Amino acid sequence: MPDPLGASPLATADIAAPGPGTRVLAVVRAMRPHQWVKNLLVFVPVVLDHKITHVESMLHAATAFAAFCCAASSAYVLNDIVDLEADRRHATKRFRPFAAGLLSPTFGLVFAPVLLAIGFALSWGTLPASFVALLAVYVVLTAAYSLYLKRVAVLDVLLLAGLYTLRVLAGIAAADVRFSTWLLAFSTFLFLSLAFLKRYTEVSAMDGAPTEQVRRRGYLRADREWLGSMGGASGYLSVLVLALYINSEQVVALYRRPLALWLICPLLLFWIGRMWLLAYRGRVHDDPIVATVRDPSSYAVGALVAVVLYLAL
């Protein structure tokens, strides 16, 4: 009898009895190292405070990055265990190690706390207590998200955006750099747009009636257009915050040529508009971070932004 999920008998056999090499690779995949790019956000406040050449600040930020990678991987393992049955029915998520049967839920329940312990061990005693507290808040919020809050419409995207912004705050605490309410506001709106993008792609991938609900989510198929409008608006609000920051008195203390920073606004408008256009065309992965990393224009925009920041110094 053919596999209802479309897998070949050989693939099914491989999943049932993975070899040592396959199991190691599965463990690495379960940690989702490609998602660690999100944790680079801890370096953002260090760069914007012009302390990229300050060795101690960069070392503390690097430690914070490693701690967040361990904590995030722990959360991903927990999330995959909680979503096991839903993932097995998903077109792409069914290939995740736990859903595919390469790793057992029992292993995950042991592996997740180990990763979490490593994350706290890296930061305990080497970074300020405020960073450890923020890491603990991150762990609590991600656990709450995995267990229940991802099912609550609107609250889920606010929480996802908050988790991105929390990484920026953790970078400030770890490296002991200046806190900026402008950076906080900008991050909140930009990451809210990415959170809406994630939900938009999930809803767009659904088949069925408009009233059908996304499995383990609080959205209906009919919510697609609303998610798109909210996501686009949030992204453009982040550019507005940046424009207001450029006109503020604070920017003069950091940049000799602040007017050059205006060039970042059209770059961000282009990038945000492009990401949402690709999403409307069905060309965005269900994770916006993966889509960003795979899109060459993201690197081009990032490089140009770096050049503009350098010219503004």
- What domains can you pick out in the chain, each with its CATH number? 1-179 (1.10.357.140), 193-313 (no CATH)
Q: How far apart are CA 311 and CA 129, in angstroms?
A: 36
Task: Tell me which H or E stretch contains 100.
Answer: none
Q: How far apart are CA 135 and CA 185, in angstroms?
A: 20
Q: What is the pLDDT of residue 146?
A: 83
**Which distant-in-sequence residues (6+ apart) come within 8 Å of 97 by Cβ?**
26, 27, 29, 30, 80, 103
- What digits encode the pLDDT tens for the residues 62-72? 999 999 999 99
The more confident residue out of 264 and 9 is 264
Q: Is the pLDDT of residue 245 over 60?
A: yes
Q: Which of 230, 218, 219 is CA-nearest to residue 194?
A: 230
Q: What is the pLDDT of residue 217?
A: 76
Q: Is the pLDDT of residue 90 over 60?
A: yes
Q: What is the pLDDT of residue 220?
A: 87
Mean pLDDT within 186-195: 93
Q: Is the pLDDT of residue 254 over 50?
A: yes
Percent of the chain, pLDDT > 90?
53
Q: What is the pLDDT of residue 19?
A: 57
Share the mean pLDDT of the chain.
Answer: 86
Q: Which of 40, 42, 118 is CA-nearest to residue 73?
A: 118
Label each residue of 178-247 as H, E or C. CCCHHHHHHHHHHHHHHHHHHHHHHHHCCCCCCCCECCCCCCEHHHHHHHHHHHHHHHHHHHHHHHHHHC
pLDDT band at 17 (very low <50, low <70, confident <90, very high): very low
The residue type found at 39 is: N
Q: What is the pLDDT of residue 55?
A: 92
Q: Which two tokens stand for residue 24?
A: 């190691």
The more confident residue out of 119 and 288 is 119
pLDDT band at 208 (very low <50, low <70, confident <90, very high): low
**Which distant-in-sequence residues (6+ apart) come within 8 Å of 151 by Cβ?**
216, 217, 218
* Whether 223 contacts 307, CB under 8 Å: no
The more confident residue out of 110 and 5 is 110
The residue type found at 181 is: T
Q: Is the pLDDT of residue 3 over 70?
A: no
Q: Is the pLDDT of residue 87 over 50?
A: yes
The more confident residue out of 273 and 49 is 273
Mean pLDDT within 146-161: 91
Percent of the chain, pLDDT > 70?
90
